[in-house]
Structure 1
Amino acid sequence: ERYRPAHCPHCGSGHPWHHGHYERKADRSPRGPENPVWIPRFYCRRCRHTCSRLPSCVAPRRWYGWAIQQCVLLYLWLSFSLSFTSLRFGPSRDTCRRWLRWL
């Protein structure tokens, strides 16, 4: 219930109802297995759209957790190479570069 949005993000109508869930792999660390997390979905009767609410442990639009992203960005900010950082933490060089550009 605490993930239920108060209003539909599409039309603003109140209290969308629970409409199942989907699994998302939240932990993609190179040292452990991927841990699926259930993401609740909600349906608005008025506009007939669905929306999802991510738990705080899942980074939006990211496959890697916040801690790995933080370490990668710190190493890149301290002028370590993309190759070294990629080998140390697991994300590819392209992913590390994209995160650095985002920062």
Structure 2
Amino acid sequence: MNRTFRFKNFTTREDPETLPEYSAICHSTDPQDVEGEAEEALCLDSSGGFATAEEADNWMRQHMRKTGHRHFRRSFEDYAELLPTDELEPARVARVTA
């Protein structure tokens, strides 16, 4: 008995029911004096999530004005949705004989 299995192809798109999120983390170093020895530590202050890149940029500018820090890691996150296409693709199976 032969069977043919078919798989659907899917495309990826940004989920229209959710908003993307923009954020920034300060990666500047501050000199610290620990027990008489100079060390550098990352600031790592985080902006939290914003709805636009402009808001994250504004947070970075404000943080720079307060601290003088100029090095940041910016992030963009969104949600994806997989949608089936109308095309069906036949399964490809390699038979194993022992």
TM bracket, shorter-chain basis? under 0.3
Choose between structure 1 and 2: higher helix proportion: 1
Q: TM-score, normalised by structure 2?
A: 0.25
Q: TM-score, normalised by structure 1?
A: 0.24
Max radius of gyration: which structure?
Answer: 2
Choose between structure 1 and 2: higher strand proportion: 2
